[in-house]
Amino acid sequence: MNSFLAWIGGKRILAKTIISMMPEHKTYVEVFGGAGWVLFRKQPSEVETWNDLNSDLVNLFRVVRNKLHVFKRRQYFLLSSREEYFIFQKAIKTGKFKDDVDRAIAFYYCIRNSFGSGIFTGYAFGPNRGPKYCEGIEKL
């Protein structure tokens, strides 16, 4: 299985190599979780821990784990637009959200619609932006 998002410093390309070097184990701890490429691609362990310092990223993973249906439903009609991007970006800066699902949507939207998956790196636009955003959601 692949991760549902891109992340700066992600192990998408290195995941297979890293996994091939792992000894047999019962516990797997992802200390710097990021997008979780290694975690998602390796065979499941008895105990798995994913951790990250970024509280917005941690919130996104919690929402995807616990409230995926609500997450998908609320963003179904979102447009891929510069205006929407800046609204979500401002909400992330101020930390003002209705709930944890709205926070996760704002964070995910900015990652999927920015240059290099950075939240504040600028709005990425073009004819393929909308489909790419939808592809990420369909992976969930």
Rounded distance, CA 132 to CA 20, Å? 30
With 60 as the cut, is the pLDDT of residue 129 above it? no
Q: Residue 102: phi, psi to the nearest 5?
A: -65, -35
What is the CATH number that goes with domain 54-140? 1.10.1020
| Residue-wise pLDDT tens digits, 46-65 | 999 999 999 999 999 999 99
Going from the C-alpha of 126 to that of each of 14, 100, 130, the distances in angstroms are: 28, 29, 8
Can you tell me whether residue 117 is helix, strand or coil? helix
Residue 26 predicted with pLDDT over 60: yes
Taking the mean position of all CA atoms in its chain, how far away is CA 104?
A: 9
Rg, C-alpha atoms of the chain: 16
Structural domain spans, the chain:
1-53, 54-140
> What pLDDT, on a 0 to 100 scale, did the predictor assign at position 11?
86
Residue from 122, 89, 128, 117 nearest 105 by CA: 89
* Averaged pLDDT for residues 114-138: 61
Closest CA to 134 of 84, 72, 89: 72
pTM above 0.85, yes or no: no
pLDDT of amino acid 58: 96
Q: Is the pLDDT of residue 108 over 80?
A: yes
78 DSSP 8-state letter: -
Question: For the residues 100-112, what does the mean pLDDT come to?
Answer: 93
Ranges 36-40, 77-81, 86-90, 102-106: which has the least confidence: 77-81
* Greater model confidence, 132 or 93: 93
- For residues 19 and 2, the answer to whether their CB atoms sit within 8 Å is no
